[in-house]
Amino acid sequence: MRRYLRARQLIDHKDGYHIFKMNVTTFAVTELKVNLTGIVGPGLAVDGGGNMYVSSYDNDEVAVFAPGSENPTRIISGGEQDLAVTRDGTLYAMTGAGVEEYRPGSSSPDNIINEPGGNVGFGVAIGPAH
Protein backbone atom coordinates (compact mmCIF):
# COMPACT_ATOMS: atom_id res chain seq x y z
CA MET A 1 0.00 0.00 0.00
CA ARG A 2 1.28 3.48 -0.81
CA ARG A 3 0.37 6.86 0.60
CA TYR A 4 0.94 10.20 -1.10
CA LEU A 5 1.87 13.27 0.89
CA ARG A 6 1.98 16.94 -0.02
CA ALA A 7 5.42 18.45 0.23
CA ARG A 8 4.27 21.29 2.44
CA GLN A 9 3.59 18.67 5.10
CA LEU A 10 7.25 17.63 5.00
CA ILE A 11 9.38 20.56 3.82
CA ASP A 12 9.17 24.30 3.26
CA HIS A 13 7.94 24.88 -0.29
CA LYS A 14 9.88 28.06 -1.10
CA ASP A 15 11.35 26.31 -4.14
CA GLY A 16 7.98 25.02 -5.39
CA TYR A 17 5.77 22.04 -4.67
CA HIS A 18 7.04 18.49 -4.52
CA ILE A 19 5.07 15.28 -4.06
CA PHE A 20 6.42 12.33 -2.12
CA LYS A 21 5.45 8.67 -1.99
CA MET A 22 5.81 6.86 1.34
CA ASN A 23 5.78 3.10 1.77
CA VAL A 24 3.72 2.60 4.93
CA THR A 25 5.46 -0.69 5.72
CA THR A 26 9.07 0.51 5.55
CA PHE A 27 8.36 4.27 5.88
CA ALA A 28 10.76 4.87 2.97
CA VAL A 29 10.02 8.22 1.30
CA THR A 30 10.85 8.98 -2.32
CA GLU A 31 10.03 12.04 -4.40
CA LEU A 32 7.76 11.49 -7.41
CA LYS A 33 9.12 13.02 -10.59
CA VAL A 34 6.14 15.04 -11.80
CA ASN A 35 5.98 18.37 -13.61
CA LEU A 36 4.06 20.74 -11.33
CA THR A 37 4.73 23.87 -13.40
CA GLY A 38 1.72 26.18 -13.06
CA ILE A 39 0.06 23.95 -10.46
CA VAL A 40 -0.41 25.52 -7.04
CA GLY A 41 -2.14 23.00 -4.67
CA PRO A 42 -3.83 22.37 -2.30
CA GLY A 43 -5.69 19.19 -3.29
CA LEU A 44 -4.15 15.79 -3.93
CA ALA A 45 -5.89 12.41 -4.35
CA VAL A 46 -5.08 8.99 -5.85
CA ASP A 47 -7.64 6.58 -7.37
CA GLY A 48 -7.62 2.78 -7.35
CA GLY A 49 -5.69 2.68 -10.64
CA GLY A 50 -2.86 4.81 -9.27
CA ASN A 51 -3.85 7.96 -11.16
CA MET A 52 -2.89 11.05 -9.17
CA TYR A 53 -5.11 14.15 -9.14
CA VAL A 54 -3.58 17.53 -8.18
CA SER A 55 -5.72 20.66 -7.91
CA SER A 56 -4.56 24.17 -8.66
CA TYR A 57 -6.40 27.17 -7.25
CA ASP A 58 -4.38 29.56 -9.44
CA ASN A 59 -5.92 28.31 -12.67
CA ASP A 60 -9.05 26.51 -11.36
CA GLU A 61 -8.19 23.07 -12.74
CA VAL A 62 -7.13 19.57 -11.76
CA ALA A 63 -4.13 17.92 -13.39
CA VAL A 64 -4.36 14.13 -13.72
CA PHE A 65 -1.13 12.13 -13.80
CA ALA A 66 -1.20 8.50 -14.94
CA PRO A 67 1.05 6.15 -12.91
CA GLY A 68 4.69 6.85 -13.78
CA SER A 69 3.88 9.92 -15.89
CA GLU A 70 5.90 13.10 -15.31
CA ASN A 71 3.39 15.34 -17.11
CA PRO A 72 -0.38 15.54 -16.76
CA THR A 73 -2.21 13.11 -19.01
CA ARG A 74 -5.48 15.01 -18.62
CA ILE A 75 -6.67 18.41 -17.37
CA ILE A 76 -10.06 18.83 -15.70
CA SER A 77 -11.51 22.35 -15.53
CA GLY A 78 -12.73 23.29 -12.05
CA GLY A 79 -12.02 21.98 -8.58
CA GLU A 80 -9.53 24.49 -7.26
CA GLN A 81 -9.49 23.31 -3.63
CA ASP A 82 -9.58 19.95 -1.84
CA LEU A 83 -10.07 16.66 -3.73
CA ALA A 84 -11.32 13.16 -3.02
CA VAL A 85 -11.56 10.31 -5.51
CA THR A 86 -13.22 6.89 -5.38
CA ARG A 87 -11.51 3.66 -6.39
CA ASP A 88 -13.27 3.76 -9.77
CA GLY A 89 -12.03 7.30 -10.50
CA THR A 90 -15.10 9.38 -9.63
CA LEU A 91 -13.62 12.70 -8.55
CA TYR A 92 -15.16 15.05 -5.97
CA ALA A 93 -13.62 18.51 -6.10
CA MET A 94 -14.27 21.29 -3.58
CA THR A 95 -14.82 24.74 -5.03
CA GLY A 96 -15.75 28.07 -3.52
CA ALA A 97 -19.45 27.24 -4.01
CA GLY A 98 -19.71 23.54 -3.20
CA VAL A 99 -18.55 20.15 -4.47
CA GLU A 100 -18.29 19.17 -8.11
CA GLU A 101 -18.62 15.50 -9.11
CA TYR A 102 -16.71 14.24 -12.17
CA ARG A 103 -17.38 10.72 -13.42
CA PRO A 104 -14.36 8.74 -14.69
CA GLY A 105 -13.01 10.27 -17.90
CA SER A 106 -15.09 13.44 -17.62
CA SER A 107 -13.41 16.84 -17.98
CA SER A 108 -16.36 18.90 -16.77
CA PRO A 109 -18.66 18.38 -13.76
CA ASP A 110 -21.44 15.82 -14.09
CA ASN A 111 -23.08 16.98 -10.87
CA ILE A 112 -22.70 20.02 -8.60
CA ILE A 113 -23.54 19.75 -4.91
CA ASN A 114 -24.13 23.27 -3.62
CA GLU A 115 -23.32 24.15 -0.04
CA PRO A 116 -26.49 24.69 2.02
CA GLY A 117 -27.14 28.37 2.67
CA GLY A 118 -24.18 29.37 0.51
CA ASN A 119 -21.68 28.29 3.15
CA VAL A 120 -18.28 27.32 1.80
CA GLY A 121 -16.68 24.16 3.14
CA PHE A 122 -13.01 23.46 3.65
CA GLY A 123 -12.66 19.84 2.58
CA VAL A 124 -14.18 16.80 0.97
CA ALA A 125 -13.76 13.11 1.88
CA ILE A 126 -14.97 9.74 0.62
CA GLY A 127 -16.12 7.03 3.05
CA PRO A 128 -14.61 3.53 3.11
CA ALA A 129 -17.49 1.99 1.11
CA HIS A 130 -16.26 3.79 -2.00
Is the pLDDT reported for residue 75 higher than 70?
yes
Looking at residue 4, what is its pLDDT? 45
- 80 located within any domain: yes
Q: How many domains does the chain have?
A: 1
Mean of pLDDT values over 22-27: 79
The set of long-range contacts for 15-19, using a CB threshold of 8 Å and a minimum separation of 24, is: 17/41, 19/44, 19/52, 19/54
- 110 located within any domain: yes
End-to-end CA separation in angstroms for the chain: 17
pTM recorded for the entire structure? 0.73
Which amino acid, 118?
G
CATH of the domain at 93: 2.40.10.500
What are the residues whose beta carbons fall under 8 Å from the beta carbon of 61, sequence distance 6 or more? Answer: 55, 75, 76, 77, 78, 79, 80
- Top-confidence range, 7-11, 27-31, 59-63: 59-63
- 123 located within any domain: no
- 51 located within any domain: yes
Q: What residue numbers bound the domain in which 98 lies?
A: 38-118
